[in-house]
Each structure stands twice: as structure tokens, then as C-alpha cells.
A and B are shown apart, each in its own frame.
Chain A
Amino acid sequence: MAQTQAAQHKHLPGDLAVWFFIFAELAVFGILFIGFGVARSLAPATFSAGRAALHPWTGLINTIGLITASYLVACAVKRLRHEKTGTTALLVGAIAASSIYTFGKLWEYGVLYADGYNLGTDTFFMFYFFLTFFHFMHVGPGPDHPGGAGGEGEKRRLPHQQHERHGIRRVLLAHGGPGMAGAIPDALCTGLRR
């Protein structure tokens, strides 16, 4: 009886299609990280020199911004599901927090480019710019998702079941919004600097 109830409670949050999308994204990130690791083992001196040119504090601040944004979105989704108010404030906070990453990353790209580093500098920077920009493009459009979905949620007060079927924006929101599929890879992106 208890087992049956537990089985009934188990469900995949959001749309199935979005999970395939997320797993495809994670596979790409996985391949890139492993490629980075293999390339590093082949040219440790190049990677060590490249790492020294990065800004570890920017990486830390960016990661804090993304985790905070994901936390605020997760809290907003929970409140929305329980039909509580205050989701808009949480989502505005999430946009602000994810903007720390967006501007931090743009600043870092600007500084590195001004110092003469680009995709063609060496293997390290080819991987660094490619991987982090790929990640950036997942996060950059992120603030549109919580902003749009939060506004709708506040107005419509969607019941739980309808909320689950409400399309890609809400599903992305449920999976961390600004962090989205990039949330886990971000942990490894930060690791590239160390």
C-alpha cells in the first residue's frame, strides 16, 4: 500500500520533451569538459599559463550570482505551485542575480580580449572561450524565462496540473531558470579556473 502510494507520487516534473532537450545539452557539455580534460593532459604548460591569465574572483562572483538566481527561481516555482503571492519579487531578484553573471562574464571577455587573448591564442583559450560562451548563451537569454512566466503566473494563478503542462518557459523555470541546463556545468566551468 505504502509502496503503491510512493510510486504514485513519483513523477517527472515538467514536459518530457524538455528533459530530452536538457539531457542533449548536458551531453554536449560533458563532451566539451572531457575534451578540455584530455587537451589539458596533452599540453599542461599551455593550460597552466592560460589559467594564470584568468580572474578567479570573477568566476566565484559569477557562480554565486547563478546559484542565487536558481535558488530564487526554485523558491518562486514553489510559491507559484502553492498559489502564494510574491513570485514576481523573487523572479525580479533572480533576473538581478543572473545579471551579475551576464555583466561579469562580458567584463571578463572584454579584459581578456584587450589583453590579446582570443579563440586563436592557443588550445586553452580555444576551449575556454568556446565552452564559457556556449554556457553564456544558455544563461544570457535566461532572464526572459522567469520574467515572462512569473508575470503570467501572478495574473492567472494556475492550478498545479495546468502549471505542469504550460509549455517550455515554465518547465525551464522549474529547472532553475537562469541556470537551466547550464546550472550543473557551471560548477565545472568554475573549476576550469583552478
Chain B
Amino acid sequence: MLAVYIALMVCTMLPVIVMQAGADMTVLVWLVFALVLVKALLLVDHFMEMKHAPWGWRFAAQGWAVVVVAVLAGVHAVG
């Protein structure tokens, strides 16, 4: 559980560190999208205890972030 917590912290802090380092905004946006997916998977599996849930429930819970991020990335790419 501690490893998951540390991973979530790294995922949370990384975009801010990259932003402070003066990274390009385009890179930052895609980095945030990727890290949101990682965070969502970790939260669902470990903090929400879905790792051993029936696959349909686990898939639905993890799929939420994938769908939302995919739509946002699509809107961002088109816009």
C-alpha cells in the first residue's frame, strides 16, 4: 500500500516539477493525461479495492478514466 501511495505522490508532483522546469505546455498536457490514467488505475485497484472484484466491475471502474481522458485528449487534439 505504501508503494502505491508513493507512486501516487510521484504522479501528482511530476507535472508541477516539469511545469516549474519550464517544459512546453503541449508536453505537459499529454503528461497530465498519461499520469491521470496511472493514478486512476492505482486508486481503483488498491484504494477502492477493485483488484479482486469481478472483471466487469473492475473494467467499468478503470474504464471511466480511460473514456474521459480519451475524449478530453481528442477534443484537445482537434482544438
Specify which chain B residues have a CB less than 8 angstroms from the CB of A194 in the assembled complex. Answer: 15, 19, 28-29, 32
Fill in one digit per residue for A178-194: 1 if any B CB lies within 8 Å of its CB, else 0: 01000110011011001
User: Whole-angstrom distance between the alpha carbons of A104 and B49 in the complex?
Assistant: 28
User: Whole-angstrom distance between the alpha carbons of A33 and B47 in the complex?
Assistant: 22
CB within 8 Å of A: which of B7-63? Answer: 8-9, 12-13, 15-16, 19, 28-29, 32-33, 35-36, 39-40, 43-44, 46-50, 52-55, 57, 60-61
Question: Could you say which interface size class chain A belongs to?
Answer: 35 or more
CB within 8 Å of B: which of A39-60? Answer: 40-42, 44, 56-57, 60
Specify which chain B residues have a CB less than 8 angstroms from the CB of A23 in the assembled complex. Answer: 60-61, 64
Contact of A34 among B53, B55, B72 (CB under 8 A): B72
User: Whole-angstrom distance between the alpha carbons of A146 and B54 in the complex?
Assistant: 26
Interface of A is mostly: helix
Contact B9 A67 (CB under 8 A): yes
Contact A184 B64 (CB under 8 A): yes
Interface of B is mostly: helix
Which A-chain residue is minimally distant from B17 (CB atoms)?
A60
User: Whole-angstrom distance between the alpha carbons of A191 and B32 in the complex?
Assistant: 7
User: Whole-angstrom distance between the alpha carbons of A35 and B25 in the complex?
Assistant: 21
Specify which chain B residues have a CB less than 8 angstroms from the CB of A19 in the assembled complex. Answer: 57
User: Whole-angstrom distance between the alpha carbons of A41 and B75 in the complex?
Assistant: 7
Question: Could you say which interface size class chain B belongs to?
Answer: 35 or more
A159 near B: Cβ within 8 Å? Answer: no
A13-B53, A184-B40 in contact; A60/B13 too (CB < 8 A)?
Answer: yes
Specify which chain A residues have a CB less than 8 angstroms from the CB of B57 in the assembled complex. Answer: 12, 19
A34-B72, A44-B79 in contact; A13/B1 too (CB < 8 A)?
Answer: no
Q: Which of A71-79, A116-124, A136-144, A149-157 contacts B (4 or more CB under 8 A)?
A: A71-79
Specify which chain A residues have a CB less than 8 angstroms from the CB of B67 in the assembled complex. Answer: 30
User: Whole-angstrom distance between the alpha carbons of A78 and B49 in the complex?
Assistant: 10
Specify which chain A residues have a CB less than 8 angstroms from the CB of B71 in the assembled complex. Answer: 34, 37
Contact A191 B36 (CB under 8 A): yes
- B interface residues with partner A (beta carbon < 8 Å): 1, 4-5, 8-9, 12-13, 15-16, 19, 28-29, 32-33, 35-36, 39-40, 43-44, 46-50, 52-55, 57, 60-61, 64-65, 67-69, 71-72, 75-76, 78-79
Q: What 4 A-B pairs have minimum CB-CB distances, sorted nearest first? A: A41-B79, A13-B49, A71-B5, A37-B72
